[in-house]
Structure 1
């Protein structure tokens, strides 16, 4: 999958979603999927191969990609996913599903590769999820046990996944409280009416007695 994605780049940092054709990934088509970013750190399946359907025991198209993970791993996965879109960069995850009734231990790897949408923004991703072991009863959900992110340009610095990542290796600016200002007030005319004078009153709360 990675070799196919690299072949689509043709000197570009990120290939287009329109460049991806099923026949180009026919050998891994069952394990492939395409994501659409719908919010910071969130994406849904636009297309998914049969292996994902077998893992979840249902059609996954339209479902959030985090649905294949256990709740404790979703926060970290969201950070990694957002870094793929924002940097942009590639990510490879290691996964593990523990054994339970009718569900043997299952390990897997997920690859995330950024793509441009028809509008030219990086809001799509080509992915691959492969597992080793018997699937057993679905749905199977995984713990994320590790991740590796890599820049698109050789020698560049990868963006560490985390809240507030800004992309292109930049650090987020420190938060500062907003500054509120009042527009200058014209002086009250000597012949102002009582209603105009009352409009200038301000309520100031002081300490209670």
Structure 2
């Protein structure tokens, strides 16, 4: 590398950054604040462009080069059960929030347990209606974890089989991540129809499931007491009350190999 190249590289960093000790990790987010509206708007605009007259675009139409500026915040979900989906792909921002690779993890891993039921309802409405959902998230401050504000966008996609079991989305968070993993409370959500003017399907509450009161366990009725034998019982009657139990292995039929 020439000397001019070195001067240009140094000019890209702030004066404070050039004085940092060697090996310190620099994040672009430290110098350029995250713009939630821009990222969510670009991803939704990209999804709208993929439709080409269709209600729902196909998963195969999504290309990373089309969402370069939102790629770190984007993800693709696969529906695995009613109200449940896992990450097929996820950007670097989500990995930073969780502190680990998130591919294969369920989407609910990013939410606190008290908010997962509502997330499940919203997620199922995205796949079932189908429709678009935008979620407002918040994570209160705690030791080593500054407060965070975030937003999530969910956009339905068709799989290769033609069913709506995929979703393109993004998760954008403002603030210092601090200690990972970071989990959020679902503060509010709003749904939009995929076709302007269509009716919005409100997310229906999930069934109580394990929260239901368990049924009382009923034991089997006690066996009826056996009447005592009379004094003048015959030997046959007495033998009927006994059963021979043997620990010897059963005999094998003649001709069978031992």
Same fold (TM over 0.5): yes
| Equivalence map 1:54-133=2 (5 Å) | 54-133=96-175
Structure 1 equivalent of residue 190 of structure 2: 148
Greater Rg by CA: 2
Q: Does 1:19 align with 2:61?
A: yes
Shift of 1:76: 0.3
Where 1:28 maps in the other structure, the secondary structure is helix
Where 1:108 maps in the other structure, the secondary structure is strand
Where 1:139 maps in the other structure, the secondary structure is coil
Q: Does 1:134 align with 2:169?
A: no
| Equivalence map 1:158-197=2 (5 Å) | 158-163=200-205
Shift of 1:155: 1.0
Where 1:104 maps in the other structure, the secondary structure is coil
CA deviation profile, 1:53-110 (whole Å, cap 9, x unmatched): 0000000000000000000000000000000000000000000001111000000000
Q: Does 1:6 align with 2:44?
A: no
More strand by share: 1
Q: Distance in 1 between matches of 2:202 and 2:51?
A: 23
Structure 2 equivalent of residue 201 of structure 1: none
Structure 1 equivalent of residue 229 of structure 2: none
Where 2:115 maps in the other structure, the secondary structure is helix
TM-score in terms of structure 2 length: 0.63
Where 2:69 maps in the other structure, the secondary structure is coil
Shift of 1:162: 1.1
TM-score in terms of structure 1 length: 0.78
Shift of 1:117: 0.2
Q: Distance in 2 between matches of 1:15 and 1:117?
A: 9
CA deviation profile, 1:95-142 (whole Å, cap 9, x unmatched): 000111100000000000000000000000000000111100000000
**Would you say how many aligned residue pairs link Structure 1 and Structure 2?**
165
| Contact 2:156 2:166 survives alignment (8 Å) | yes
Where 1:26 maps in the other structure, the secondary structure is helix
Tell me the C-alpha RMSD between the 2 structures: 1.1
More helix by share: 2
Q: Distance in 1 between matches of 2:134 and 2:116?
A: 15
Q: Distance in 2 between matches of 1:153 and 1:112?
A: 15
Shift of 1:163: 3.6
CA deviation profile, 1:128-174 (whole Å, cap 9, x unmatched): 0001111000000000000010111111110000147xxxxxxxxxx
Structure 2 equivalent of residue 195 of structure 1: none
Unaligned runs of 5+ residues in structure 1 are 165-209
Q: Distance in 2 between matches of 1:163 and 1:97?
A: 23
Q: Distance in 2 between matches of 1:22 and 1:66?
A: 24
Unaligned runs of 5+ residues in structure 2 are 1-42, 207-258
